[in-house]
Structure 1
Amino acid sequence: MNDLTLRPLHADDSIEALTALLHAAYASLAAQGWNFTAVDQSAETTRERVATGQAFVVERAGVLVGTVTVAPPKPADGRYLSDPVPDCYTRPDTAILAQLAVHPGQRGLGLAERLMDIAEDWARGQGYAHIALDTAVPAEALRRRYERRGYETIGDVQWAGKTYRSVLMRKTLTAPPDRAVISREVSA
């Protein structure tokens, strides 16, 4: 299965295709009643979210099958998806991980782990000491995945319009492992 490529999002990649991937990947969460932003976000929202940092994608035979976005901290007086910004998202030493998604037909290949690896590598390379994220409190499997990677719960937040409360998690970034950071072939 070395027909998978993990790479940065290119300017000529289709934002519409990326948005469709997010919708497909988050459909199972929507079915559980959790209205994550990526469940039904517009292409314009996808464009805004990837423009703030660095998005990475997994491509198979020219089709996007996985993605993650990692971004610098938000301004303390700014907004995040129209909500006030939590303190952990404004720390100058902390990058923000978002929009982690793998197409349902490509799950079980370790792609989410590889996407998180590259996001964390990017954050390290930019000089960040920490990386933070949020997910639904009731999404126990997602929370356990992040905990296994070293993310610790540091608080919670109720985003406007969400059907769930979110847990805020942060990981301290250690020295980078010995692997290519920006572009590499992925084999399962």
Structure 2
Amino acid sequence: MPTLRPLRDTDSLVELTALLHAAYASLAAQGWNFTAVNQPVDVTRQRLADAQAFVAERDGRLVGTVAVRGPKPVGETYIGDETPQLYTTPGTAILAQLGVHPDCRGLGLGERLIEAAEGWARAQGFTQIALDTAEPATALRQRYERRGYRTVGGVQWQGKTYASVLMVKPLAPETTA
């Protein structure tokens, strides 16, 4: 079973970018040009700025990833687009770049990665976590809905072949035993 851990400074962003390309290839085949489909390493680095990334590692190879960060400053662009108000709301963590290598699907890694991101956000004191995904990606939206996310709006990212939905999930405060 792959192990989950925080991304390290010594991890290769070239390898992480290749993982994202592999993980998002099936979405690209459906005509959805998610940024992670073909983003260069520089965009991977940019998307990880101010974020906590988690990776799944198996036999020394990165096979899964997710990033989570706090709200963006008002006026900051999001991959060249104006940032949706949800992503600048105080108390909001943002989940992004969730991907699992096709060779490792069906092992529950996606759920474990989301749990790691939500746990990190909760521990940092965030009260909700938000994300966006392709509106026509029914299976992805249903996956998030099963985890308690609900659609609260939409956005059309510049250059994307699809409209996106904005989804949010409240985070209960961390409890101490």
Q: TM-score, normalised by structure 1?
A: 0.91
1:23 alignment counterpart: 21
Identity of aligned residues (%): 65
2:61 alignment counterpart: 63
Deviations 1:105-144 (A, max 9, x none): 1000000000000000000111100000000000000000
2:94 alignment counterpart: 96
**Hey, which bits of structure 1, 4+ residues long, moved more than 4 A?**
none
> 1:52 deviation in Å?
2.0
User: Contact 2:92 / 2:129 at 8 angstroms: preserved in 1?
Assistant: yes
Distance of 1:175 and 1:103 partners within structure 2: 32
1:123 alignment counterpart: 121
Q: Please point out which of 129, 139, 142 is paired with 1:141.
A: 139
Distance of 2:175 and 2:135 partners within structure 1: 30
User: Contact 2:127 / 2:173 at 8 angstroms: preserved in 1?
Assistant: no
Please list every run of 5 or more consecutive structure 1 residues that lacks an aligned counterpart in the other structure. 179-188
SS in 1 for 2:44: helix
When the two chains are superposed, the root-mean-square deviation of aligned CA atoms in Å is 1.1
1:181 alignment counterpart: none
The aligned length equals: 176
Distance of 2:63 and 2:130 partners within structure 1: 23
1:80 alignment counterpart: 78
SS in 2 for 1:127: coil
1:113 alignment counterpart: 111
Does residue 1:12 correspond to 2:34, yes or no? no
Please list every run of 5 or more consecutive structure 2 residues that lacks an aligned counterpart in the other structure. none
> 1:51 deviation in Å?
2.1
Does residue 1:154 correspond to 2:170, yes or no? no
> 1:177 deviation in Å?
7.6
Deviations 1:1-43 (A, max 9, x none): 3xx2100000000000000000000000000000000000000
SS in 2 for 1:77: coil
Amino acid aligned to 1:38:
A
User: Contact 2:19 / 2:101 at 8 angstroms: preserved in 1?
Assistant: yes
Amino acid aligned to 1:95:
A
SS in 2 for 1:76: coil
Deviations 1:40-70 (A, max 9, x none): 0000100111122100000001000000000
User: Contact 2:71 / 2:92 at 8 angstroms: preserved in 1?
Assistant: yes
Q: Please point out which of 31, 53, 59 is paired with 1:33.
A: 31
Q: TM-score, normalised by structure 2?
A: 0.97
Does residue 1:50 correspond to 2:42, yes or no? no
Distance of 2:135 and 2:56 partners within structure 1: 27
> 1:75 deviation in Å?
1.0
Task: Using CA pairs under 8 Å that are at least 6 residues apart, name the structure with larger relative contact order, 1 or 2.
Answer: 1
1:168 alignment counterpart: 166
